[in-house]
Structure 1
């Protein structure tokens, strides 16, 4: 596992003051009927018609695909990560590899794992910003979030934030979590895995940003609550979790070369899709518990990891997530997936008579405890069951209606 350092005083650091506009409300028309469960959510002042958000990556890589996402009904779109100098970003092909449920890799077998070695946006920043402006002009009531990542340079971060905010985005997601690509430039997970560095960079970001800021967490770390805590204490309004898991997808046993194979070689990449869902649930649960115990100022949690069904999303929301991001799922199933997600989430809500997402958000979180507590709870339950089997404690406890059962409870076989 990667190492991570913590400044001793980080847990007591005072959060930075937020600028008033960071919580300004942005509305969107709700389309669901009054009789249907209401999927709309309000997160850091941003109103979305549903909690489903396009996660940063290929599904938000240009105007055409982001427009398609809005047209299909996604609650929000997070664009692919941008930086000041796109010329340094050079992608390779192939850059994806898939793991199928069939151990023999049959082509019709369901995909359960997906790996990518893709970098952030390789398109000029000005091009992306112009497309952000066009999207906000055409969809003024929809939520567009800019994902940004920059080198270890305060001036560069400030310039990037200023330029992206000028394009009209409603919020920023900070990529502290990309597991591959340019760690030598202190970008992505190189920041998210070092809490001293993270605290400093978050300070730079939050002294400049005027819209809500979400810090995107890497799972490639021992304790994900530590960088999440540092990000929130440093002024971020929310955290997103998780980004992809560092992985090697496999070795081609015919060629003896790793996959995905580029000119005979490969590099570790980020793992996503259904196989990571249980890991993401655990990480989100840990962050949600920490946030509930230590923060009470409306900080938000956006959950990511293997979402392909409404039930997948319900699990994240039950753990305390405000929104649910989907990236690989869109790459496999298309932008129309959001309709299925909304329908299935509403089906779940009907089953439990929930009228809104807030009715059940975090409902499962109290049921997590320690193993020691589980032992104590089970011992107490066994003790109570034995007491019931032992029968009546006194003659005064006999009843007429339950006489036969009360007699049986004291029969020894």
Structure 2
């Protein structure tokens, strides 16, 4: 069977794909549990060995297991990018077992993104072995890729294009743009005092951090799509003490590098309103934006290949970040959202639409054949 067999060819593989998805979902893999992530890596390696006929490299970095297959001729090929960690703790599957009912798959991590990994492996199984492809599956994407970031960026720099198997947007669209993500903690040190006897001797960290909340929130720019969201706030130790410590966490999302840098500079320029308070800022950009220009050539190609398959695709800009941001950030053409269609990632309602698995896998396989000739145009 050839990858050019189209949607019907992959439809014949659907039962096997669902069986493999059941195996991957059963291998629970919360990011912070390195033992569970290592077990998940072994399960994926077994499935990949059966489908691709070769073992992956298992790259363990600071205790976290990542997998890499290299196939085809050497040179600047295609990076197929995914992750096998999830946000759900071990034991979730006992409460939410894998199931296929009424045309949908359910189970922890099925959409984000165990189904995308199954699609990648089955698409590669039917891809011309001469096509240069690296399949990289990381184990810590859900917590910001602390051990895999350099690995993703190095592989992207060496590749002509990057295809990301994160789930599609809720309406099935490919993700042609993602906001960049920055994370900050603003810490205030004041001076403690008894709130009843001598509050004037204190320097109130709660009052100071409250002022900073308003300043930070004011950095948002809805017209530019920039969100600056104060999130976790901590202050004080007792009800009758002027607090001497307070902290604020801030989540920033920006469509462009220019906006990301503007907010970064503004947050680092914060100064305390009370001159006796001390203010410290830590953090910064975690992922650069995946801007429209980074995906444009690949999205045009996806539209053409979808038409040839009798399908249609649309594109959407989304607020969440992924490792696709990292690939685009080093200058590699990147198209995201090529994974499963469904809804509810990170929630108890997460599901995958079964009828979309074969068409989307066929599109991925078609892109793997088309990109070496046309990517970057």
Query: Where on the TM-score scale, by shorter chain, does this alignment land: which range?
Result: under 0.3
TM-score (norm 1): 0.24
TM-score (norm 2): 0.26
Which protein has the larger Cα radius of gyration, Structure 1 or Structure 2?
1
Tell me which protein shows more strand as a share of its residues.
Answer: 2
